[in-house]
Amino acid sequence: MDDERNLSGYRGKQENISELKIEPGLETVEYVYSGNAEVVRYHTDELTALCPKTGLPDFYHLEIEYIPDKLLIELKSLKLYLTGYRNVGIFYEHLAMKIFQDIKEKIEPKWLKITLRAAKRGGIGAEIVVDSNKL
């Protein structure tokens, strides 16, 4: 009964997140040094999404690290893609995994790591790390 009462405010708010299509989508650029193992790192503090419970904005620091195979992420499209989350109600953990899956599907890197740090809320900070070597 207690579990039912605690979860009732969230029920149905995340069930379709894995199928969510953020527009505009990510675009790619050919990686002409395929076969090498350089690590590409992008980071931004300009990622926001909405708390699915309260509807209030959450603010994030996002780091994307990957070893490209044949494709790179085109950066303007990455910025527009991330802006697409501005009005999406999504939990931290789901946001990190969704970004990870979208990038992995689009560029098929040799290795990919996403680190999402949420601004503190109620004195509690959160850091979610998704690493293809750990899945």
Query: 49 forms bridges with which residues in the sheet?
Result: 58
Residue 52, both tokens: 């699915």
Given the residues 45, 51, 69, 102, the one annotated as active site: 51
Q: Is 51 a catalytic residue?
A: yes
Given the residues 3, 58, 102, 131, the one annotated as active site: 58
Q: Is 131 a catalytic residue?
A: no
Peptide bond into 68 cis (omega under 30): no
Active site residues: 51, 58
